[in-house]
Amino acid sequence: MNVLKLGELWAIPIMLRLALIENLRRIAARIAADRINRNLADYWADQMTETAEKDPNSLILVIADMVRSDPPMMSSFVAEFTRRLQGQSPALALPLTWIEQRLSESGLTIEQSVHSENQQQAADQVSISNSIGSLRFLGAMDWVEFVERMSSVEQVLREDPVGVYGKMDFCHPRSLPSRRGEDS
């Protein structure tokens, strides 16, 4: 059985915090990218809705502009674009049909993309909540007690026949008096 060294035991809380913060960073980066895709979907949906109301004959030109811009067929874009246009005027069915056709090239449907986006948002929310809760738990945990309990050196020192070591307290630098003899 391998026993962790004292430095390795003290590294556990730091490494756990780093892993949780990295998870939050990864999720935040994905959320930021998804927000960009949703903003793009909003832009095209606004363009198409406005054109359909004011000049329906020019809608095909706006659709062509969107097609030329090659929007990302990411679930965040598809879900937002669909949410904004579905059930609107019949003229706005054409861009949704184009999205459906593009997705079918990858074996996907609009419904699958919307479902995938909803699942991803729910998973991100749970992961963020769990990471923050775990960071709070790590902050509240008594790591001195943990290290003392897990350290093989600590166990040997506690076998001190006179019992002096067991009566000693772990000294925190913050609890030491200042150099002037004042409490900090």
SS (H, E, C) 89-148: CHHHHHHHHHHHHHHHCCCCCHHHHHHHHHHHHHHHHHHHHHHHHHHHHHHHCCHHHHHH
Q: Is the pLDDT of residue 154 over 90?
A: no
Please compute, for residue 118, the number of CA atoms within 13 A of its CA located in the half-sphere on the CB side: 8
Task: Kindly compute the dihedral angle of the four CA atoms of residues 71, 72, 73, 79, in this order, to the nearest 10 degrees.
Answer: -80
Task: Give the torsion sign (CA, 44, 48, 49, 54).
Answer: positive
Cα–Cα distance, 51 to 76 (Å, whole number): 23
Provide the pLDDT confidence category of residue 171 given band limits of 50, 70 and 90.
low
**pTM of the prediction?**
0.77
What pLDDT does 175 receive? 47
The neighbour count for residue 167, using CB atoms within 10 Å, is 8
Whether pLDDT at 179 is above 50? no
Cα 80 to its chain centre, rounded Å, is 20
Residue 170 pLDDT level (bands cut at 50, 70, 90): low
Region 67-80: what's the mean pLDDT?
96
pLDDT in tens, 98-150: 999 999 999 999 999 999 999 999 999 999 999 999 999 999 999 988 988 88
Q: For the residues 37-50, what does the mean pLDDT come to?
A: 97
